[in-house]
Copies of this chain bind each other. A is one copy, B any other.
Protein backbone atom coordinates (compact mmCIF):
# COMPACT_ATOMS: atom_id res chain seq x y z
CA UNK A 1 0.00 0.00 0.00
CA UNK A 2 1.12 3.48 -0.94
CA UNK A 3 1.37 6.87 0.72
CA UNK A 4 -1.63 6.41 2.98
CA UNK A 5 -0.90 8.55 5.97
CA UNK A 6 -2.54 8.02 9.31
CA UNK A 7 -3.49 10.46 11.96
CA UNK A 8 -4.92 9.75 15.35
CA UNK A 9 -5.20 12.23 18.14
CA UNK A 10 -6.04 11.11 21.62
CA UNK A 11 -7.28 13.95 23.73
CA UNK A 12 -7.33 13.11 27.38
CA UNK A 13 -9.42 15.86 28.88
CA UNK A 14 -9.00 16.97 32.43
CA UNK A 15 -11.89 16.38 34.80
CA UNK A 16 -13.10 18.10 37.93
CA UNK A 17 -11.87 15.08 39.83
CA UNK A 18 -8.29 15.79 38.76
CA UNK A 19 -8.63 19.42 39.70
CA UNK A 20 -10.06 18.42 43.07
CA UNK A 21 -7.16 16.12 43.75
CA UNK A 22 -4.58 18.70 42.82
CA UNK A 23 -6.27 21.34 44.92
CA UNK A 24 -6.81 19.00 47.82
CA UNK A 25 -10.55 19.67 47.95
CA UNK A 26 -13.68 17.76 47.04
CA UNK A 27 -15.26 17.68 43.61
CA UNK A 28 -18.28 19.49 45.00
CA UNK A 29 -16.14 22.48 45.79
CA UNK A 30 -14.59 22.47 42.37
CA UNK A 31 -18.03 22.34 40.83
CA UNK A 32 -19.08 25.35 42.90
CA UNK A 33 -16.11 27.36 41.76
CA UNK A 34 -16.31 26.42 38.12
CA UNK A 35 -19.98 27.33 37.96
CA UNK A 36 -19.71 30.48 40.03
CA UNK A 37 -21.91 29.12 42.76
CA UNK A 38 -21.55 30.69 46.20
CA UNK A 39 -20.12 29.11 49.31
CA UNK A 40 -16.42 28.86 48.69
CA UNK A 41 -13.67 30.83 50.42
CA UNK A 42 -12.14 33.35 48.02
CA UNK A 43 -8.71 31.91 48.61
CA UNK A 44 -9.77 28.38 47.72
CA UNK A 45 -11.76 29.75 44.80
CA UNK A 46 -8.74 31.44 43.29
CA UNK A 47 -6.58 28.42 43.78
CA UNK A 48 -9.05 26.18 42.01
CA UNK A 49 -9.57 28.63 39.19
CA UNK A 50 -5.87 28.83 38.65
CA UNK A 51 -5.45 25.08 38.53
CA UNK A 52 -8.37 24.76 36.15
CA UNK A 53 -6.86 27.33 33.82
CA UNK A 54 -3.48 25.69 34.04
CA UNK A 55 -4.90 22.29 33.22
CA UNK A 56 -6.87 23.87 30.40
CA UNK A 57 -10.06 22.50 31.81
CA UNK A 58 -13.15 22.28 29.64
CA UNK A 59 -16.26 20.54 30.88
CA UNK A 60 -17.31 17.29 29.28
CA UNK A 61 -20.55 18.18 27.57
CA UNK A 62 -21.90 14.64 27.57
CA UNK A 63 -21.54 14.38 31.31
CA UNK A 64 -23.01 17.80 31.80
CA UNK A 65 -25.91 16.98 29.53
CA UNK A 66 -26.65 13.79 31.37
CA UNK A 67 -26.62 15.49 34.71
CA UNK A 68 -28.95 18.16 33.36
CA UNK A 69 -31.28 15.74 31.65
CA UNK A 70 -33.93 15.76 34.32
CA UNK A 71 -33.99 19.54 34.49
CA UNK A 72 -32.65 20.91 31.19
CA UNK A 73 -31.27 24.40 30.94
CA UNK A 74 -33.77 26.82 29.47
CA UNK A 75 -32.71 28.91 26.48
CA UNK A 76 -34.90 31.93 25.83
CA UNK A 77 -35.59 33.21 22.33
CA UNK A 78 -37.11 36.61 21.75
CA UNK A 79 -38.03 37.48 18.18
CA UNK A 80 -40.78 38.80 15.92
CA UNK A 81 -43.79 36.57 15.17
CA UNK A 82 -43.35 33.46 13.10
CA UNK A 83 -45.42 34.69 10.19
CA UNK A 84 -42.59 36.81 8.84
CA UNK A 85 -40.98 34.62 6.21
CA UNK A 86 -37.46 35.74 6.99
CA UNK A 87 -37.87 34.83 10.63
CA UNK A 88 -39.44 31.56 9.76
CA UNK A 89 -36.21 30.59 8.05
CA UNK A 90 -34.23 31.74 11.05
CA UNK A 91 -36.48 29.62 13.19
CA UNK A 92 -35.80 26.59 11.05
CA UNK A 93 -32.11 27.07 11.69
CA UNK A 94 -32.74 27.34 15.42
CA UNK A 95 -34.78 24.17 15.34
CA UNK A 96 -32.09 22.32 13.42
CA UNK A 97 -29.52 23.24 16.06
CA UNK A 98 -31.97 22.32 18.80
CA UNK A 99 -32.47 18.94 17.19
CA UNK A 100 -28.74 18.31 17.31
CA UNK A 101 -28.62 19.44 20.91
CA UNK A 102 -31.74 17.47 21.80
CA UNK A 103 -30.17 15.12 24.32
CA UNK A 104 -27.66 17.65 25.47
CA UNK A 105 -29.60 19.16 28.30
CA UNK A 106 -31.30 22.14 26.74
CA UNK A 107 -34.86 23.28 26.27
CA UNK A 108 -36.16 26.24 24.25
CA UNK A 109 -38.63 28.90 25.22
CA UNK A 110 -39.84 31.15 22.41
CA UNK A 111 -41.32 34.57 23.08
CA UNK A 112 -42.70 36.36 20.05
CA UNK A 113 -42.80 40.09 20.34
CA UNK A 114 -43.81 42.88 18.06
CA UNK A 115 -40.72 44.56 16.70
CA UNK A 116 -42.14 48.07 17.07
CA UNK A 117 -42.74 48.40 20.80
CA UNK A 118 -39.61 48.30 22.95
CA UNK A 119 -41.75 47.73 26.05
CA UNK A 120 -42.72 44.32 24.80
CA UNK A 121 -39.14 43.35 24.29
CA UNK A 122 -38.27 44.55 27.77
CA UNK A 123 -41.13 42.61 29.31
CA UNK A 124 -39.98 39.51 27.45
CA UNK A 125 -36.44 39.80 28.80
CA UNK A 126 -37.68 40.23 32.33
CA UNK A 127 -40.06 37.33 32.02
CA UNK A 128 -37.29 35.03 30.83
CA UNK A 129 -34.84 36.12 33.48
CA UNK A 130 -37.51 35.56 36.12
CA UNK A 131 -38.13 32.12 34.65
CA UNK A 132 -34.47 31.34 35.25
CA UNK A 133 -33.19 30.99 31.71
CA UNK A 134 -29.56 30.09 31.18
CA UNK A 135 -29.23 32.47 28.23
CA UNK A 136 -31.18 34.55 25.72
CA UNK A 137 -31.24 34.95 21.95
CA UNK A 138 -32.59 38.38 21.17
CA UNK A 139 -33.78 40.04 17.99
CA UNK A 140 -35.75 43.21 18.59
CA UNK A 141 -34.99 46.66 17.27
CA UNK A 142 -32.49 48.82 19.12
CA UNK A 143 -33.76 51.14 21.88
CA UNK A 144 -32.46 52.72 25.06
CA UNK A 145 -34.89 50.78 27.19
CA UNK A 146 -33.88 47.55 25.53
CA UNK A 147 -30.19 48.25 25.97
CA UNK A 148 -30.65 48.89 29.64
CA UNK A 149 -32.49 45.64 30.16
CA UNK A 150 -30.05 43.57 28.18
CA UNK A 151 -27.29 44.83 30.44
CA UNK A 152 -29.41 44.10 33.48
CA UNK A 153 -29.91 40.52 32.34
CA UNK A 154 -26.19 40.13 31.77
CA UNK A 155 -25.51 41.50 35.25
CA UNK A 156 -27.78 38.84 36.64
CA UNK A 157 -25.68 36.21 34.94
CA UNK A 158 -27.82 35.65 31.88
CA UNK A 159 -25.75 35.91 28.69
CA UNK A 160 -27.45 37.48 25.68
CA UNK A 161 -26.70 37.10 21.99
CA UNK A 162 -28.37 39.42 19.53
CA UNK A 163 -29.18 38.12 16.08
CA UNK A 164 -30.37 39.51 12.77
CA UNK A 165 -30.59 43.06 14.11
CA UNK A 166 -28.01 44.10 16.64
CA UNK A 167 -28.39 46.14 19.82
CA UNK A 168 -25.12 47.94 20.03
CA UNK A 169 -23.37 49.36 23.06
CA UNK A 170 -24.50 46.61 25.36
CA UNK A 171 -22.68 43.76 27.04
CA UNK A 172 -24.33 41.13 24.80
CA UNK A 173 -21.72 38.49 24.12
CA UNK A 174 -21.94 38.86 20.36
CA UNK A 175 -24.10 39.59 17.34
CA UNK A 176 -24.94 37.06 14.65
CA UNK A 177 -26.23 38.58 11.46
CA UNK A 178 -25.65 39.75 7.98
CA UNK A 179 -22.80 41.76 6.55
CA UNK A 180 -24.80 44.66 5.17
CA UNK A 181 -21.87 46.54 3.73
CA UNK A 182 -20.69 43.51 1.84
CA UNK A 183 -24.11 42.90 0.38
CA UNK A 184 -24.15 46.47 -0.88
CA UNK A 185 -20.80 45.98 -2.56
CA UNK A 186 -21.86 42.72 -4.09
CA UNK A 187 -25.00 44.35 -5.44
CA UNK A 188 -22.87 46.93 -7.19
CA UNK A 189 -20.59 44.28 -8.58
CA UNK A 190 -23.53 42.36 -9.99
CA UNK A 191 -25.12 45.47 -11.38
CA UNK A 192 -21.95 46.36 -13.24
CA UNK A 193 -22.01 42.98 -14.93
CA UNK A 194 -25.51 43.22 -16.35
CA UNK A 195 -25.95 46.93 -16.90
CA UNK A 196 -24.01 47.78 -20.02
CA UNK A 197 -25.75 50.30 -22.18
CA UNK A 198 -27.63 52.51 -19.68
CA UNK A 199 -25.39 53.12 -16.67
CA UNK A 200 -27.74 55.23 -14.56
CA UNK A 201 -28.81 53.48 -11.39
CA UNK A 202 -31.61 54.01 -8.92
CA UNK A 203 -31.32 52.81 -5.34
CA UNK A 204 -34.46 52.17 -3.33
CA UNK A 205 -34.49 51.81 0.44
CA UNK A 206 -36.86 52.28 3.37
CA UNK A 207 -35.14 55.20 5.01
CA UNK A 208 -31.68 56.64 5.38
CA UNK A 209 -32.47 57.01 9.06
CA UNK A 210 -31.96 53.30 9.53
CA UNK A 211 -28.37 52.29 9.88
CA UNK A 212 -29.04 48.98 8.18
CA UNK A 213 -30.37 50.68 5.08
CA UNK A 214 -27.62 53.26 4.98
CA UNK A 215 -24.94 50.61 5.27
CA UNK A 216 -26.05 48.83 2.13
CA UNK A 217 -26.18 52.08 0.22
CA UNK A 218 -22.69 52.92 1.42
CA UNK A 219 -21.42 49.55 0.31
CA UNK A 220 -22.91 50.06 -3.12
CA UNK A 221 -21.54 53.56 -3.53
CA UNK A 222 -18.12 52.72 -2.17
CA UNK A 223 -17.80 49.96 -4.70
CA UNK A 224 -18.52 52.44 -7.49
CA UNK A 225 -15.83 54.72 -6.16
CA UNK A 226 -13.31 51.92 -5.88
CA UNK A 227 -13.95 50.43 -9.28
CA UNK A 228 -13.58 51.90 -12.71
CA UNK A 229 -17.08 50.89 -13.77
CA UNK A 230 -18.98 53.75 -15.31
CA UNK A 231 -22.16 53.22 -13.32
CA UNK A 232 -23.71 56.25 -11.75
CA UNK A 233 -26.20 56.44 -8.89
CA UNK A 234 -28.90 58.85 -10.01
CA UNK A 235 -30.90 58.95 -6.84
CA UNK A 236 -31.59 57.17 -3.57
CA UNK A 237 -35.30 56.81 -3.07
CA UNK A 238 -36.74 56.44 0.41
CA UNK A 239 -40.03 54.58 0.16
CA UNK A 240 -40.63 54.05 3.88
CA UNK A 241 -41.58 50.46 3.11
CA UNK A 242 -44.92 51.68 1.82
CA UNK A 243 -46.25 50.52 -1.51
CA UNK A 244 -47.75 53.84 -2.61
CA UNK A 245 -44.81 56.05 -1.74
CA UNK A 246 -42.36 53.67 -3.32
CA UNK A 247 -44.34 53.20 -6.51
CA UNK A 248 -44.92 56.88 -6.98
CA UNK A 249 -41.33 57.87 -6.46
CA UNK A 250 -39.95 55.20 -8.75
CA UNK A 251 -42.49 56.10 -11.39
CA UNK A 252 -41.49 59.70 -11.10
CA UNK A 253 -37.79 58.92 -11.37
CA UNK A 254 -38.25 56.64 -14.34
CA UNK A 255 -40.36 59.09 -16.28
CA UNK A 256 -37.85 61.84 -15.63
CA UNK A 257 -34.93 59.60 -16.63
CA UNK A 258 -36.05 57.09 -19.23
CA UNK A 259 -32.46 55.99 -19.61
CA UNK A 260 -32.15 54.45 -16.17
CA UNK A 261 -30.68 50.99 -16.65
CA UNK A 262 -30.73 49.47 -13.18
CA UNK A 263 -32.44 49.53 -9.82
CA UNK A 264 -30.92 48.30 -6.59
CA UNK A 265 -33.72 47.46 -4.18
CA UNK A 266 -31.60 47.52 -1.07
CA UNK A 267 -34.64 47.37 1.19
CA UNK A 268 -38.22 48.44 0.93
CA UNK A 269 -41.28 47.43 -0.98
CA UNK A 270 -40.19 45.10 -3.75
CA UNK A 271 -43.71 44.70 -5.12
CA UNK A 272 -43.95 48.42 -5.77
CA UNK A 273 -40.66 48.39 -7.58
CA UNK A 274 -41.73 45.57 -9.83
CA UNK A 275 -45.01 47.27 -10.65
CA UNK A 276 -43.23 50.49 -11.46
CA UNK A 277 -40.97 48.67 -13.91
CA UNK A 278 -43.92 47.01 -15.57
CA UNK A 279 -45.65 50.34 -15.94
CA UNK A 280 -42.58 51.94 -17.46
CA UNK A 281 -41.56 49.22 -19.85
CA UNK A 282 -39.39 50.91 -22.43
CA UNK A 283 -37.03 49.85 -25.14
CA UNK A 284 -34.18 48.72 -22.95
CA UNK A 285 -34.32 46.31 -20.05
CA UNK A 286 -34.08 47.70 -16.55
CA UNK A 287 -31.97 45.36 -14.46
CA UNK A 288 -32.89 44.74 -10.85
CA UNK A 289 -30.75 43.51 -8.00
CA UNK A 290 -32.33 43.12 -4.60
CA UNK A 291 -31.92 41.47 -1.22
CA UNK A 292 -33.47 38.50 0.53
CA UNK A 293 -35.88 35.97 -0.82
CA UNK A 294 -39.40 36.95 0.11
CA UNK A 295 -42.25 35.53 -1.96
CA UNK A 296 -42.43 38.69 -4.10
CA UNK A 297 -38.75 38.38 -4.90
CA UNK A 298 -39.19 34.78 -5.92
CA UNK A 299 -42.02 35.90 -8.14
CA UNK A 300 -39.84 38.62 -9.60
CA UNK A 301 -37.11 36.14 -10.41
CA UNK A 302 -39.59 33.88 -12.14
CA UNK A 303 -40.98 36.73 -14.17
CA UNK A 304 -37.49 37.76 -15.18
CA UNK A 305 -37.88 41.22 -13.67
CA UNK A 306 -35.28 40.60 -10.99
CA UNK A 307 -31.84 39.50 -12.16
CA UNK A 308 -30.17 38.71 -8.87
CA UNK A 309 -31.01 38.69 -5.22
CA UNK A 310 -28.45 38.68 -2.46
CA UNK A 311 -29.41 36.56 0.51
CA UNK A 312 -28.01 36.46 3.98
CA UNK A 313 -28.59 32.87 5.03
CA UNK A 314 -31.25 33.37 7.68
CA UNK A 315 -31.24 29.65 8.40
CA UNK A 316 -27.57 29.86 9.20
CA UNK A 317 -28.17 32.85 11.45
CA UNK A 318 -30.62 30.89 13.57
CA UNK A 319 -28.44 27.83 13.66
CA UNK A 320 -25.25 29.66 14.55
CA UNK A 321 -26.85 31.82 17.20
CA UNK A 322 -28.19 28.89 19.16
CA UNK A 323 -24.99 26.92 18.80
CA UNK A 324 -22.87 29.89 19.85
CA UNK A 325 -25.02 30.41 22.92
CA UNK A 326 -24.77 26.72 23.74
CA UNK A 327 -21.00 26.70 23.42
CA UNK A 328 -20.78 29.74 25.61
CA UNK A 329 -22.99 28.33 28.34
CA UNK A 330 -22.08 24.65 28.26
CA UNK A 331 -18.48 24.80 27.22
CA UNK A 332 -17.58 28.24 28.49
CA UNK A 333 -16.31 29.08 25.03
CA UNK A 334 -16.59 32.70 23.93
CA UNK A 335 -17.17 33.39 20.22
CA UNK A 336 -14.05 34.22 18.23
CA UNK A 337 -15.45 37.57 17.28
CA UNK A 338 -18.03 40.02 18.51
CA UNK A 339 -19.58 39.99 15.05
CA UNK A 340 -20.46 36.71 13.43
CA UNK A 341 -21.54 37.23 9.85
CA UNK A 342 -23.72 34.77 8.04
CA UNK A 343 -22.75 33.90 4.49
CA UNK A 344 -23.72 36.35 1.78
CA UNK A 345 -24.94 34.52 -1.29
CA UNK A 346 -26.14 35.40 -4.75
CA UNK A 347 -29.29 33.75 -6.03
CA UNK A 348 -30.76 33.67 -9.51
CA UNK A 349 -33.85 32.03 -10.88
CA UNK A 350 -31.94 28.82 -11.48
CA UNK A 351 -30.85 28.67 -7.83
CA UNK A 352 -34.39 28.07 -6.62
Contacts and interface: CB of A to CB of B under 8 A. Distances in A.
Interface of A: 1-11, 13, 60-63, 65-66, 69, 81, 100, 102-105, 107-114, 117, 120, 123-124, 127, 182, 185-186, 188-190, 193-194, 196, 223, 307, 323, 343-351
24 contacts: A1-B120, A1-B127, A2-B117, A2-B120, A4-B111, A4-B112, A4-B120, A4-B123, A5-B111, A5-B112, A6-B110, A8-B108, A60-B66, A61-B62, A62-B69, A62-B103, A62-B104, A186-B351, A189-B350, A193-B348, A345-B351, A346-B346, A346-B347, A346-B348
Nearest to A313: B343
B196 A111 contact: no
Contacts of A63: 62, 66, 103
A110 B1 contact: no
Given A2-B113, A8-B107, 19 more contacts: A1-B124, A1-B127, A5-B110, A6-B109, A6-B111, A8-B108, A9-B107, A9-B108, A60-B103, A61-B62, A61-B102, A62-B69, A62-B103, A182-B350, A190-B350, A193-B193, A193-B348, A345-B346, A346-B346
A245 to B, nearest CB: 27
Contact of A344 (B185, B323, B351): B351
Contacts of A102: 11, 61
Q: Which 5 A-B pairs have the closest CB atoms?
A: A62-B65, A189-B350, A346-B346, A186-B350, A61-B103
Contacts of A8: 107-109
A198 B3 CA distance: 49
Contact of A113 (B4, B81, B307): B4
Contacts of A182: 350
A223 B350 contact: yes
Interface of A, secondary structure class, is: mixed
A348 B223 CA distance: 13
Q: Which of A13, A110, A185, A351 has its CB near the most chain B CB atoms (within 10 A)? A: A351
A117 B65 CA distance: 45
A100 to B, nearest CB: 8
Contacts of A5: 81, 110-112
A223 B349 CA distance: 12
A343 B316 CA distance: 12
A172 B242 CA distance: 53
A186 B348 contact: yes
Nearest to A7: B110
A114 B347 CA distance: 36
A84 to B, nearest CB: 13
Contacts of A112: 3-5
Contact of A2 (B60, B105, B114, B350): B114
